[in-house]
Chain A
């Protein structure tokens, strides 16, 4: 098995576990984070209103995002929306309400347990215009030029082939279609001990690209009008494996200023781009 395959498998296992064990604390399971972080308060801090959180089936919000791409996307009635890494369906359900009965929302996720959860949530909420499928964001099972808006929330950093993800997004978008993502990027390279941690890869830290590299991937895929709508330091206590992260950071010989610089370098970014007409 190649490194890429084993990393992909670890990501899938990790989020399968999160799906099965549900939203304890930060989503990492009982005993972690002492229950300080519930999904609602995490999501509130990333820009979801109370109204949005209450509008979806209970259990759809796992508090695993790092922004609110639907709020940025200015979706219209009738739009076809594709959500990459749809998890338990939170953003899909919000998008569903915006695109209405004439629109469609498709969620793609590579974790069976997440999809089953999303499907149950869709049935519970009666969402006729939302569909989920098992698939990889590097190999989208979606026809060329068939989607108006692609959204993704804190997922692309987990991909082992990010340039291919952006090429696939470009392929499935119609001319004039848009991409809106929230994701984790870095403003400075990580120390090796953190970069090489597989647990921190599945926690959206070690797999993150430098901000400039991320923008370059989007540009190289063919997109234009690449716009950063916001960026903010991603609080370490919102990271899925916070205790392990703190331990790993603790094991790196850094002085206080360097440590501060490291935690300030993990950034949540909201970025958009367009496929030219």
Chain B
């Protein structure tokens, strides 16, 4: 995931802001990390460069 994307990402449920935490990043993009919505108290994972922003109830299906 490239950093420019943060400008337009939001929580898929409440549409509020999400906070990025990076655990692995290369010159181009974020590879592993988390996007957290404090309002919903949900962590959306970034894995192998792809943010998983499925709503929690369908991500667990």
Contact = CB atoms under 8 A, between A and B. Distances in A.
Interface of A: 1, 5, 8-9, 12, 80, 104, 106, 110, 112, 115-116, 119, 128, 131-136, 139-144, 146-147, 171
Contacts of A135: 12, 53-54
Contacts, number: 74
A66 B28 CA distance: 34
B52 A134 contact: yes
A110 B10 contact: no
A236 B55 CA distance: 34
B8 A146 contact: yes
Interface of B: 1-2, 4-5, 7-13, 15, 28, 44, 48-55, 58, 61
Chain A, interface SS category: mixed
Contacts of A1: 61
Contacts of B53: 133-135, 141
A136 B48 contact: no
18 contacts: A9-B61, A104-B5, A110-B54, A116-B48, A128-B28, A131-B2, A131-B5, A133-B51, A133-B52, A135-B12, A139-B13, A141-B9, A141-B10, A141-B11, A141-B12, A141-B44, A143-B9, A143-B15
A143 B10 contact: yes
Chain B, interface SS category: loop
A120 to B, nearest CB: 10
Contacts of B55: 136, 139
Given A131-B1, A135-B53, A142 B61 contact: no
Contact of B4 (A104, A112, A141): A104
Given A119-B50, A143-B15, A133 B1 contact: yes
B21 to A, nearest CB: 16
Nearest to A139: B12
Contacts of A142: 8-10
B60 to A, nearest CB: 11
Given A115-B50, A135-B12, A141-B51, 11 more contacts: A5-B61, A104-B5, A119-B48, A128-B28, A134-B51, A136-B58, A141-B11, A142-B9, A143-B8, A143-B10, A144-B15
B61 to A, nearest CB: 5
Contact of B50 (A106, A134, A136, A144): A134
B12 A8 contact: no
Contacts of A144: 10, 15
Contacts of A132: 50
A142 B18 CA distance: 11
B2 A146 contact: no
Contacts of B51: 133-134, 141
A143 B11 CA distance: 8
A3 to B, nearest CB: 14
A112 B59 CA distance: 11
B19 to A, nearest CB: 14
Nearest to A132: B50
A147 B9 CA distance: 11
A276 to B, nearest CB: 21
